[in-house]
Protein backbone atom coordinates (compact mmCIF):
# COMPACT_ATOMS: atom_id res chain seq x y z
CA UNK A 1 0.00 0.00 0.00
CA UNK A 2 2.64 2.52 1.06
CA UNK A 3 5.60 1.77 -1.14
CA UNK A 4 7.15 5.19 -1.02
CA UNK A 5 6.36 8.06 1.34
CA UNK A 6 8.19 11.05 -0.10
CA UNK A 7 6.93 13.40 2.61
CA UNK A 8 9.25 11.69 5.10
CA UNK A 9 12.18 12.02 2.71
CA UNK A 10 11.47 15.72 2.27
CA UNK A 11 11.17 16.29 6.02
CA UNK A 12 14.44 14.42 6.59
CA UNK A 13 16.23 16.40 3.88
CA UNK A 14 14.89 19.69 5.26
CA UNK A 15 15.99 18.86 8.82
CA UNK A 16 19.42 17.74 7.61
CA UNK A 17 19.81 20.94 5.60
CA UNK A 18 18.86 23.01 8.65
CA UNK A 19 21.41 21.16 10.79
CA UNK A 20 24.19 21.72 8.27
CA UNK A 21 23.33 25.40 7.92
CA UNK A 22 23.17 25.87 11.70
CA UNK A 23 26.64 24.35 12.01
CA UNK A 24 27.97 26.82 9.44
CA UNK A 25 26.28 29.75 11.19
CA UNK A 26 27.83 28.79 14.52
CA UNK A 27 31.23 28.42 12.83
CA UNK A 28 30.83 31.92 11.38
CA UNK A 29 29.97 33.38 14.79
CA UNK A 30 32.92 31.60 16.39
CA UNK A 31 35.26 33.13 13.80
CA UNK A 32 33.77 36.62 13.84
CA UNK A 33 37.09 38.13 14.97
CA UNK A 34 39.42 35.87 13.00
CA UNK A 35 41.43 37.91 10.48
CA UNK A 36 40.84 36.85 6.88
CA UNK A 37 37.86 34.62 7.70
CA UNK A 38 34.98 34.74 5.21
CA UNK A 39 31.43 33.84 6.23
CA UNK A 40 30.18 30.48 4.91
CA UNK A 41 26.68 29.47 3.92
CA UNK A 42 24.80 26.95 1.77
CA UNK A 43 22.02 27.41 -0.76
CA UNK A 44 18.50 27.71 0.65
CA UNK A 45 16.64 24.40 0.87
CA UNK A 46 14.08 25.52 -1.70
CA UNK A 47 16.79 25.99 -4.36
CA UNK A 48 18.58 22.77 -3.49
CA UNK A 49 15.40 20.70 -3.54
CA UNK A 50 14.17 22.29 -6.79
CA UNK A 51 17.51 21.50 -8.46
CA UNK A 52 17.20 17.82 -7.51
CA UNK A 53 15.94 16.23 -10.73
CA UNK A 54 13.89 13.38 -9.26
CA UNK A 55 13.39 13.47 -5.50
CA UNK A 56 12.02 9.91 -5.45
CA UNK A 57 15.21 8.34 -6.83
CA UNK A 58 16.87 5.48 -5.00
CA UNK A 59 19.73 6.46 -2.72
CA UNK A 60 22.92 4.49 -2.12
CA UNK A 61 23.94 4.74 1.53
CA UNK A 62 27.03 2.57 1.04
CA UNK A 63 29.52 2.24 -1.79
CA UNK A 64 28.58 -1.45 -2.15
CA UNK A 65 25.02 -0.61 -3.25
CA UNK A 66 24.55 -1.28 -6.94
CA UNK A 67 21.83 1.26 -7.76
CA UNK A 68 21.09 4.79 -6.71
CA UNK A 69 23.23 7.83 -6.18
CA UNK A 70 25.73 8.57 -3.47
CA UNK A 71 24.41 10.50 -0.49
CA UNK A 72 20.92 11.94 -0.52
CA UNK A 73 21.40 13.51 -3.93
CA UNK A 74 21.31 17.15 -2.83
CA UNK A 75 24.01 19.67 -3.69
CA UNK A 76 24.75 21.37 -0.38
CA UNK A 77 28.01 22.96 -1.45
CA UNK A 78 29.42 25.40 1.06
CA UNK A 79 30.00 28.86 -0.36
CA UNK A 80 32.09 31.67 1.06
CA UNK A 81 31.19 35.33 0.98
CA UNK A 82 33.30 37.88 -0.86
CA UNK A 83 36.16 39.75 0.73
CA UNK A 84 35.26 41.39 4.00
CA UNK A 85 34.68 45.07 4.55
CA UNK A 86 36.49 44.87 7.86
CA UNK A 87 40.04 46.19 8.14
CA UNK A 88 41.11 42.63 9.03
CA UNK A 89 39.38 41.21 5.88
CA UNK A 90 36.65 39.44 7.89
CA UNK A 91 33.21 39.23 6.26
CA UNK A 92 31.19 37.96 9.25
CA UNK A 93 28.37 40.23 10.45
CA UNK A 94 26.98 39.02 13.77
CA UNK A 95 23.55 40.53 13.06
CA UNK A 96 23.28 38.66 9.77
CA UNK A 97 24.36 35.41 11.40
CA UNK A 98 21.73 35.81 14.14
CA UNK A 99 19.05 36.28 11.47
CA UNK A 100 20.31 33.18 9.62
CA UNK A 101 20.21 31.24 12.88
CA UNK A 102 16.58 32.19 13.52
CA UNK A 103 15.63 31.32 9.93
CA UNK A 104 17.38 27.96 10.26
CA UNK A 105 15.63 27.15 13.53
CA UNK A 106 12.28 27.89 11.89
CA UNK A 107 13.19 25.62 9.00
CA UNK A 108 14.08 22.80 11.39
CA UNK A 109 10.86 23.32 13.36
CA UNK A 110 8.91 23.24 10.09
CA UNK A 111 10.57 19.96 9.10
CA UNK A 112 9.71 18.43 12.47
CA UNK A 113 6.10 19.66 12.19
CA UNK A 114 5.79 18.08 8.73
CA UNK A 115 7.20 14.82 10.06
CA UNK A 116 4.94 14.84 13.13
CA UNK A 117 1.80 15.61 11.09
CA UNK A 118 2.63 12.90 8.59
CA UNK A 119 3.15 10.38 11.39
CA UNK A 120 -0.21 11.33 12.93
CA UNK A 121 -1.97 10.87 9.58
CA UNK A 122 -0.24 7.53 9.05
CA UNK A 123 -1.17 6.33 12.55
CA UNK A 124 -4.78 7.42 12.07
CA UNK A 125 -5.03 5.58 8.76
CA UNK A 126 -3.57 2.40 10.24
CA UNK A 127 -5.90 2.46 13.27
CA UNK A 128 -9.04 2.71 11.12
CA UNK A 129 -8.17 -0.15 8.81
pTM (predicted TM-score): 0.74
Q: Are the C-beta atoms of residues 76 and 17 closer than 8 Å to each other?
A: yes
| Mean pLDDT of the region 31-40 | 90
Q: Which residues pair with 59 in a beta bridge?
A: 69
List the chain domain ranges. 6-128
Between residues 87 and 74, which one has the greater pLDDT? 87
Q: What is the pLDDT of residues 66-79, one digit of tens each?
A: 444 444 556 667 77
Spell out the residues 6+ positions from residue 67 whose beta carbon is closer than 8 angstroms to its own: 58, 60
Amino acid sequence: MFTELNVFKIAYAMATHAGKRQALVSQNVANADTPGYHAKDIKPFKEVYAANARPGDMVASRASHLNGTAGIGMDWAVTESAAGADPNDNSVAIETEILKSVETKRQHDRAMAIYKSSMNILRASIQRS
